[in-house]
Structure 1
């Protein structure tokens, strides 16, 4: 799809390169194109089971298999679609080999940004062994991939549990409504229930619990718009400081690894753009509404705004609040131009409901265990991915015998 246009909430989901990187499921695809545009580019409509290959950007050459719930979705021009009828898992694995990487890097056009021509995909050579060996490679690599998938699915469950608590407390106001009816809030101890009032009052955002107030994002913490250090200075890149871009964030709540890093010199070249561990970040240009948390001092590019909370007890509250504002963020970013852009000033002034500090602390404590387990699973997946990527070329070359 060459020109997807603006996000259309009633349109057709469009798979982009970030979704391929994240092995995203159908419900994770947030960007939708108008059905009239989809009709013009029906050739790239998915059925499920196709191999998807990223063609554009720093992360070109990443591979995934379209899950069955992608049926009817379309793809951006940054994603190549490879229809296959058999051996899809082996082909996916082989496309991640060093041999294929060599040809990707050799044939890529780097005039503007890395771009691999779709017409060259059919000419990529892959190692092709006998059926028995192909199956053995799939089984070995598949066992690692299966564990990664299990961890990812577990994290989705944990996130849903945390989201349910957030919705009960801060969207539906269940504890307040229970107390208004003279009842004990369900599943809540007396000490926590005592933190909630028994009355709702009017506000500019509608009814909210008495004693809570309305505040802008900038009232919760310092808002920092990222910046890219000069690419002409090679000494700025290749160190230990994460440099976060939108493709690093898809399908993740915590950022534990990035494709690009900064050196100490790169970090110190823009000290006012440095954000600490446990900052909460939102993508605000092009792919709008990705929300994630840093796990170490980091930098982001200019497509991302970050909030450094004044009170760490508001961290998870802001995370789930921002996730619920996805449509609002998209509306603010529309502004008449083809590319979505929510500037830092607009983002900073978005108003939120602000609970009392003791309620924020109770919520933070209530879901901290869930969030810590999610981070642990993400870190394990990073280790497993590294193992898989190390083992794969040895299996394909025969260096490691099956």
Structure 2
């Protein structure tokens, strides 16, 4: 059981008060810092290999278990991405949309030139402590950035950046406490991946391959052959109400100050899965609801993005509002919710085909309500709902627990990283 104590004796430093027995150290003095590269996109043989290759867009305050792209041995050897970094290497995004974000490798990987890799020196810097320290010091690090359009970091800046550092033994203790939260979070995330894949496999078996209905008579439809008695409709037929979102004027501060009502944006929702929403990064006030066309959605609505990144799917587990990138559907019956959510989560290409000839992804509400929806008999939907509801209930419970663990970790993070709270024993 960890033993904590509050620190009472501090010294002044260039970054503020730190415990008297801590030091301020440059990252270059306590870690090996390097960057990677990108093999030529023109050479096909450099790509689709077996070696992980991490891009800065994938560095998002998390653990990296896999990468979106792979390179070949030839691509690695003939580019600046020559080094394969081992698990537990700290990676920091240098520029782009994720500048300043940090992650920890959980697998071996090469990296691109927009990432700095930091490997703590043995018995001097614990990589996990370094990961949490950079997470907490992100805003201070970004003060060093250059660039008007976007924030840019350079290796020299990273090497010169300073952090407060306790003894190596205390670093290990602090890292152990914070890792305990993240280990629980990752375990619940992996559970959710398995549960969601199971639900998707059942959906595909029933409603894409029609496995339980192979012996039935099939008829033609706009979606191809379907069991007799089924039909192709739209979301309008299974919804009791359809609600668009909006963005209250940012300059009207009464819409945003002292706000507590969740307001969902596209950046908070991922592709290819059902996102359960318990909270949002931004909030709006009661004045925004009273004075604009923003609507408060009841719990358990199907929320789909139809602007910019079309085809993202969410279900809200608390009353929320959304921006104009989403259209929300209040289902007529609860057995429609998970079926329609899975249907659209697995139908990204179908949704995109309705975006029309626009310079960016955009689907009007009128067009969205034309997207075909396979509608099985009520008895089939009810039986399917009985199978998948327990899976999604567990996913939602896990997601809620993840939020609690993240809040607890984030509350401890500044106290431990700046030495206000000390870890005496593990």
**Equivalent-residue separation in structure 2 for 1:24 and 1:310 (angstroms):** 40
1:293 and 2:346 are equivalent in the alignment? no
**Equivalent-residue separation in structure 1 for 2:364 and 2:65 (angstroms):** 29
Aligned ranges for residues 68-147 of structure 1 at < 5 Å?
68=107, 71=109, 81-86=115-120, 87-97=126-136, 100-104=137-141, 106=143, 115-119=150-154, 121-147=158-184
**Equivalent-residue separation in structure 2 for 1:16 and 1:304 (angstroms):** 27
Higher fraction of helix: 1
What's the counterpart of residue 253 of structure 2?
234
**Equivalent-residue separation in structure 2 for 1:364 and 1:54 (angstroms):** 45
**CA offset at residue 25 of structure 1?**
5.4
For structure 2, the 5+ residue unaligned runs are 1-36, 38-46, 70-74, 121-125
**Equivalent-residue separation in structure 2 for 1:324 and 1:93 (angstroms):** 36
The structure having more radius of gyration, on CA atoms, is 2
1:203 and 2:221 are equivalent in the alignment? yes
**CA offset at residue 94 of structure 1?**
0.4
SS at 1:276 equivalent? coil
**Equivalent-residue separation in structure 2 for 1:16 and 1:287 (angstroms):** 19
8 A Cα contact 2:64 2:103, kept in partner:
no
**CA offset at residue 319 of structure 1?**
1.1
Aligned ranges for residues 1-400 of structure 1 at < 5 Å?
20=60, 26=66, 49=89, 51-53=91-93, 61-68=100-107, 71=109, 81-86=115-120, 87-97=126-136, 100-104=137-141, 106=143, 115-119=150-154, 121-177=158-214, 180=215, 198-221=216-239, 222-237=241-256, 238-250=258-270, 253-271=275-293, 273-333=295-355, 335=357, 337=359, 339-400=360-421
Deviations 1:83-109 (A, max 9, x none): 123344222200122xx2452575578
**CA offset at residue 347 of structure 1?**
2.4
SS at 1:289 equivalent? coil
Corresponding residue pairs, total: 355
**CA offset at residue 125 of structure 1?**
2.9
For structure 1, the 5+ residue unaligned runs are 2-10, 33-37, 181-197
**Equivalent-residue separation in structure 1 for 2:386 and 2:176 (angstroms):** 41
User: Quick one: structure 1 residues 248 and 15, their matched pair in 2 at CA, closer, same or farther if it must change by over 3 Å?
Assistant: farther
SS at 2:422 equivalent? coil
**CA offset at residue 371 of structure 1?**
0.8
Structure scoring higher RCO (CA < 8 A, sep ≥ 6) equals: 2
SS at 1:239 equivalent? coil
8 A Cα contact 1:21 1:247, kept in partner:
no
**CA offset at residue 331 of structure 1?**
4.4
8 A Cα contact 2:62 2:102, kept in partner:
no
8 A Cα contact 2:335 2:385, kept in partner:
yes
User: Quick one: structure 1 residues 43 and 50, their matched pair in 2 at CA, closer, same or farther if it must change by over 3 Å?
Assistant: farther
Higher fraction of strand: 2
8 A Cα contact 1:63 1:96, kept in partner:
yes
**CA offset at residue 254 of structure 1?**
0.3
**Equivalent-residue separation in structure 2 for 1:236 and 1:55 (angstroms):** 32
RMSD: 3.5
SS at 2:119 equivalent? coil
User: Quick one: structure 1 residues 377 and 68, their matched pair in 2 at CA, closer, same or farther if it must change by over 3 Å?
Assistant: same
- State TM-score, norm by structure 2: 0.72
8 A Cα contact 2:217 2:228, kept in partner:
yes
User: Quick one: structure 1 residues 121 and 269, their matched pair in 2 at CA, closer, same or farther if it must change by over 3 Å?
Assistant: farther
8 A Cα contact 1:229 1:269, kept in partner:
no
